[in-house]
Amino acid sequence: MADSSMDIVSKVDRQEVDNALNQAAKEIAQRFDFKNVGASIAWSGEKIEMKANGEERVKAILDVFQSKLIKRGISLKSLKPGEPTLSGKDYHLTCELEQGISQENAKKIGKIIRDEGPKSVKAQIQGDELRVSSKSRDDLQAVQALLKGKDLDFAVQFTNYR
Protein backbone atom coordinates (compact mmCIF):
# COMPACT_ATOMS: atom_id res chain seq x y z
CA MET A 1 0.00 0.00 0.00
CA ALA A 2 1.30 3.47 -0.89
CA ASP A 3 2.05 6.07 1.73
CA SER A 4 -0.48 8.76 2.50
CA SER A 5 0.83 12.32 2.55
CA MET A 6 -0.10 15.95 3.09
CA ASP A 7 1.65 19.30 2.83
CA ILE A 8 1.89 21.84 5.62
CA VAL A 9 1.98 25.34 4.13
CA SER A 10 1.61 28.94 5.20
CA LYS A 11 -0.18 30.72 2.38
CA VAL A 12 -2.74 33.49 2.24
CA ASP A 13 -5.42 33.78 -0.44
CA ARG A 14 -4.63 37.19 -1.93
CA GLN A 15 -8.17 37.55 -3.31
CA GLU A 16 -9.65 37.16 0.19
CA VAL A 17 -7.17 39.74 1.53
CA ASP A 18 -8.15 42.07 -1.32
CA ASN A 19 -11.84 41.61 -0.47
CA ALA A 20 -11.15 42.36 3.21
CA LEU A 21 -9.14 45.46 2.21
CA ASN A 22 -11.99 46.73 0.01
CA GLN A 23 -14.52 46.17 2.81
CA ALA A 24 -12.27 48.02 5.27
CA ALA A 25 -11.85 50.90 2.80
CA LYS A 26 -15.64 51.18 2.42
CA GLU A 27 -16.16 51.19 6.19
CA ILE A 28 -13.44 53.82 6.69
CA ALA A 29 -15.04 56.04 4.01
CA GLN A 30 -18.45 55.81 5.71
CA ARG A 31 -17.56 56.03 9.40
CA PHE A 32 -18.05 59.37 11.13
CA ASP A 33 -14.85 59.14 13.22
CA PHE A 34 -12.77 58.88 10.02
CA LYS A 35 -14.32 61.92 8.28
CA ASN A 36 -11.87 64.71 7.34
CA VAL A 37 -8.79 62.96 8.76
CA GLY A 38 -7.31 61.72 5.48
CA ALA A 39 -7.86 58.09 6.47
CA SER A 40 -7.10 55.55 3.74
CA ILE A 41 -6.02 51.95 3.24
CA ALA A 42 -4.66 50.52 -0.02
CA TRP A 43 -2.20 48.12 -1.60
CA SER A 44 1.32 49.44 -2.08
CA GLY A 45 3.00 46.76 -4.17
CA GLU A 46 2.94 43.60 -2.02
CA LYS A 47 2.37 45.56 1.19
CA ILE A 48 -0.70 47.24 2.63
CA GLU A 49 -0.39 50.98 3.35
CA MET A 50 -2.59 52.83 5.88
CA LYS A 51 -2.64 56.62 6.29
CA ALA A 52 -4.33 59.05 8.66
CA ASN A 53 -3.56 62.31 10.45
CA GLY A 54 -3.09 60.71 13.89
CA GLU A 55 -1.34 57.68 15.33
CA GLU A 56 -4.53 56.48 17.06
CA ARG A 57 -6.48 56.78 13.80
CA VAL A 58 -3.93 54.65 11.92
CA LYS A 59 -4.19 52.00 14.63
CA ALA A 60 -7.99 52.18 14.37
CA ILE A 61 -7.72 51.57 10.60
CA LEU A 62 -5.53 48.53 11.33
CA ASP A 63 -8.16 47.29 13.81
CA VAL A 64 -10.93 47.63 11.20
CA PHE A 65 -8.79 45.77 8.64
CA GLN A 66 -7.98 42.98 11.11
CA SER A 67 -11.67 42.50 11.92
CA LYS A 68 -12.43 42.16 8.18
CA LEU A 69 -9.63 39.57 7.81
CA ILE A 70 -11.05 37.53 10.69
CA LYS A 71 -14.52 37.57 9.12
CA ARG A 72 -12.99 36.22 5.88
CA GLY A 73 -11.23 33.38 7.70
CA ILE A 74 -7.65 34.66 7.36
CA SER A 75 -5.34 34.17 10.32
CA LEU A 76 -3.89 37.36 11.80
CA LYS A 77 -0.62 35.48 12.32
CA SER A 78 0.10 35.94 8.61
CA LEU A 79 -0.21 39.75 8.92
CA LYS A 80 2.92 41.55 10.14
CA PRO A 81 2.10 45.20 10.91
CA GLY A 82 4.91 47.71 11.32
CA GLU A 83 5.01 50.70 13.63
CA PRO A 84 3.20 53.96 12.80
CA THR A 85 5.64 56.53 11.40
CA LEU A 86 5.16 60.27 10.92
CA SER A 87 5.69 61.40 7.34
CA GLY A 88 4.98 65.06 6.79
CA LYS A 89 1.72 65.64 8.64
CA ASP A 90 0.32 62.12 8.12
CA TYR A 91 1.01 58.91 9.99
CA HIS A 92 1.76 55.85 7.85
CA LEU A 93 1.56 52.18 8.80
CA THR A 94 2.61 49.36 6.48
CA CYS A 95 1.67 45.70 6.89
CA GLU A 96 3.29 42.73 5.22
CA LEU A 97 1.65 39.42 4.41
CA GLU A 98 3.82 36.49 5.39
CA GLN A 99 3.82 33.75 2.75
CA GLY A 100 5.57 30.40 3.05
CA ILE A 101 7.21 28.66 5.98
CA SER A 102 10.77 29.77 6.71
CA GLN A 103 13.53 27.15 7.16
CA GLU A 104 13.68 27.67 10.94
CA ASN A 105 9.88 27.41 11.33
CA ALA A 106 9.86 24.26 9.17
CA LYS A 107 12.53 22.79 11.46
CA LYS A 108 10.40 23.69 14.51
CA ILE A 109 7.39 21.88 13.01
CA GLY A 110 9.56 18.89 12.08
CA LYS A 111 10.89 18.70 15.65
CA ILE A 112 7.36 18.87 17.11
CA ILE A 113 6.24 16.05 14.78
CA ARG A 114 9.29 13.89 15.65
CA ASP A 115 9.01 14.47 19.40
CA GLU A 116 5.25 14.39 19.97
CA GLY A 117 3.69 12.89 16.84
CA PRO A 118 3.13 9.26 15.88
CA LYS A 119 6.38 7.36 15.30
CA SER A 120 5.53 6.19 11.74
CA VAL A 121 5.29 9.79 10.44
CA LYS A 122 8.10 11.29 8.32
CA ALA A 123 8.46 15.03 7.62
CA GLN A 124 10.50 16.52 4.76
CA ILE A 125 11.20 20.20 4.11
CA GLN A 126 10.46 21.09 0.47
CA GLY A 127 11.21 24.75 -0.19
CA ASP A 128 8.70 26.85 1.74
CA GLU A 129 6.46 23.92 2.71
CA LEU A 130 6.68 20.69 4.65
CA ARG A 131 5.62 17.27 3.27
CA VAL A 132 4.42 14.82 5.92
CA SER A 133 3.97 11.15 4.96
CA SER A 134 2.86 8.01 6.75
CA LYS A 135 1.35 4.59 6.02
CA SER A 136 -1.78 5.51 7.99
CA ARG A 137 -4.12 8.42 7.30
CA ASP A 138 -5.06 8.39 10.99
CA ASP A 139 -1.46 9.33 11.83
CA LEU A 140 -1.67 12.30 9.45
CA GLN A 141 -4.88 13.42 11.14
CA ALA A 142 -3.14 13.08 14.51
CA VAL A 143 -0.36 15.35 13.23
CA GLN A 144 -2.97 17.89 12.09
CA ALA A 145 -4.62 17.84 15.52
CA LEU A 146 -1.22 18.15 17.22
CA LEU A 147 -0.22 21.22 15.18
CA LYS A 148 -3.64 22.86 15.56
CA GLY A 149 -3.28 22.47 19.34
CA LYS A 150 0.14 24.13 19.38
CA ASP A 151 0.35 27.92 19.63
CA LEU A 152 2.66 28.57 16.68
CA ASP A 153 3.63 32.18 15.90
CA PHE A 154 2.77 31.72 12.21
CA ALA A 155 -0.28 30.47 10.33
CA VAL A 156 -0.37 26.92 8.95
CA GLN A 157 -2.74 25.20 6.53
CA PHE A 158 -2.90 21.57 5.43
CA THR A 159 -3.11 20.84 1.70
CA ASN A 160 -2.69 17.93 -0.78
CA TYR A 161 -4.12 15.41 1.66
CA ARG A 162 -3.79 12.05 -0.17
Output the CATH code of domain 14-97: 3.30.70.990
Reported pTM: 0.85
pLDDT at 1 over 60: no
pLDDT of residue 63: 95
**Residue range 81-133, pLDDT digits in tens:** 999 999 889 999 999 998 888 899 999 999 999 999 888 899 999 988 899 99
pLDDT of residue 155: 86
* 140 within 8 A of 134, measured Cβ to Cβ: yes
* Closest to 37 (Cα-Cα) out of 27, 45, 46, 29: 29
**Residue range 53-66, pLDDT digits in tens:** 999 999 999 999 99
Domain with CATH 3.30.70.990 in the chain: 14-97
pLDDT at 2 over 80: no
Q: What is the mean pLDDT of residues 27-31?
A: 93
| Cα distance between the two ends of the chain | 13
Strand, coil or helix: 64: helix
Architecture of domain 4-11+101-159: 2-Layer Sandwich (3.30)
Distance of alpha carbon 105 from alpha carbon 116, whole angstroms: 16
pLDDT at 37 over 90: no
Distance of alpha carbon 14 from alpha carbon 46, whole angstroms: 10
pLDDT of residue 76: 92
Cα–Cα distances (Å) from 128 to 32, 54, 117, in that order, read: 43, 38, 21
State the CB neighbour count (10 A cutoff) for residue 132.
24
Output the average pLDDT for the chain.
91
State the CB neighbour count (10 A cutoff) for residue 58.
24
The contacts of residue 84 (CB under 8 Å, 6+ apart) are: 55, 58, 59, 91, 92, 93
The C-alpha R_g of the chain, in whole angstroms, comes to: 20
Domain with CATH 3.30.70.860 in the chain: 4-11+101-159
* Closest to 50 (Cα-Cα) out of 10, 20, 21: 21
